[in-house]
Every structure is written in structure tokens, then in C-alpha cells.
Amino acid sequence: MSQKFSMTPIAHIHSDFAEKFGVPRQSGLVEELEADIVFEPAYQNPDALRGLEDFSHIWLIWVFDRAIRDTWSPTVRPPRLGGNTRMGVFATRSPFRPNPLGLSSVKLEGIEMRPEVGPVLLVRGADLMDGTPIYDVKPYLPHADCHPEATGGYSSDGLAHVLTVILPPEWEEKVPAAHRAALRAVLAQDPRPAYQQDSDRVYGFPFAGLEVHFTVAGDVLTVCGIFPAEKA
């Protein structure tokens, strides 16, 4: 029997990504990335987090709120496969699915009490855009959630491939010191869609209040400009 129900976000994440471009393809790929999870007023009771500080990692259940559509397709084109091969939507992590839910495993660095918003989760390795609504938080259970023997299908191809990043000093100094390692790690993952391989093209994306421009030739990514991001 089909049953519909509604859910309310319990929190929102504050990350360095104002747009989809540049966001790591999966959680945990760039642990240098830091983010804050701020709860909605109804869920700011510290008792709701009692015991969570004993876990090193947590699960986030969230919604692709900027990819919601009225219709869905049974097949999608994963960017990892160059955007040309169709796979079943349930064999991918595409945002374009019947229920646009996302699932991320992140490292819990700590829980910080802030007078104005209550408890805030400090996490690393998130793959969420700034402002993404979070619908649930669960502890990661190593004895149940970790499967070393698991196989990853087509997603395993090219996992070890990272780019060499050239970040000239004149551009690196534009980046706050606290964000430099994260930016380098994001760039090393090659933010471009797999089907874009134009060595003459200048790519750009917003990161931590900055606009980062770069080119890619072979396995080398070169940053060619970092500027203050334009305010919306």
C-alpha cells in the first residue's frame, strides 16, 4: 500500500560550496573540507545529541533541494562514465531520482555549543552545497556499516587518479590559510565533468567566498586566478 508523508529539515549545513561545481563527488574524498551543521530551533536541545560525541563518524541524510523535479527517468548518465553511458538510476547516486535523497558519511570533529544556535556539529569530508537541508543524523557503526569485501562496480574505475595541482604563490596568498589545504585537495580530485577535457578552457567555481579559475592539461591542473566571489 502506497503511503505519502512529509518530513521537516532538522538542520542545514554551512560549507564552502555555493554551487554544485567543485563539490566532491562523494563524501570522505576530501577530509580537509570543514563544515558546520546548525540545527533548526525545534531541534537545538543538546539532549538530542547525548552520546554522539563518542562516535568518530556520522551519517547525514539530506535532500538535493536544488535538483527537485516533477518527473524522473529510470536511467541517468553518470558523470564518471563521461556522460554518454546510461545506467539505472538506482545503480547511481544521481540527484535526479524519484525521491531526491542524499546519504553522506562524514567525520565528526566535535560538537560546539554556541549561544545563538545551540549545539553545532563540526564535520569533515562533507559533499554538500552550502545551505543543504539535513533530515536526519545517525551514528556510523564500524562493525555494521563497514564492508571491506564490498565491490564498487563501475564507480571503482579511476579511483586512485588525482591531478597534480600547481597553485602559484600570487594566487595562493589570496586564500585564507585555513582553506588552502582543502582547496588543493578539491582541485586534485578534478572538479570537471568527465566529458570535459578541453585543455584550453578556463574553468571556474566559487569556493569559500572566492572565485577560483583553473586550466587542466593532461594530469596537471594550474590555477590561473583567484578573486573575491561576486555577491548575489
The Cα–Cα gap between 79 and 84 comes to 8
pLDDT tens, position by position, 69-123: 888 889 998 877 777 789 999 999 888 899 999 999 999 999 999 999 999 999 9
Q: What value does the mean pLDDT take over residues 167-183?
A: 97
pLDDT tens, position by position, 133-165: 999 999 999 999 999 999 988 887 656 679 999
Specify the fold of 11-65+100-145: Elongation Factor Tu (Ef-tu); domain 3 (2.40.30)
Task: State residue 158's pLDDT score.
Answer: 58
Q: Which residues of 174-202 are buried (b: 16+ CB within 10 A; e: fewer)?
A: ebeeebbebbbbbbbbbbbeeeeeeeeee
6 burial level (CB within 10 Å; 0-12, 13-18, 19+) = exposed
65 burial level (CB within 10 Å; 0-12, 13-18, 19+) = middle
Q: What value does the mean pLDDT take over residues 49-78?
A: 92
Domains 11-65+100-145 and 156-228 share a fold: no
Residue the block writes with cell 538542520: 11
List the CATH code of the domain at 156-228: 3.30.2310.20
- Domain locations along the chain: 11-65+100-145, 156-228
Task: State residue 19's pLDDT score.
Answer: 93
pLDDT tens, position by position, 183-205: 999 999 999 887 777 889 999 99
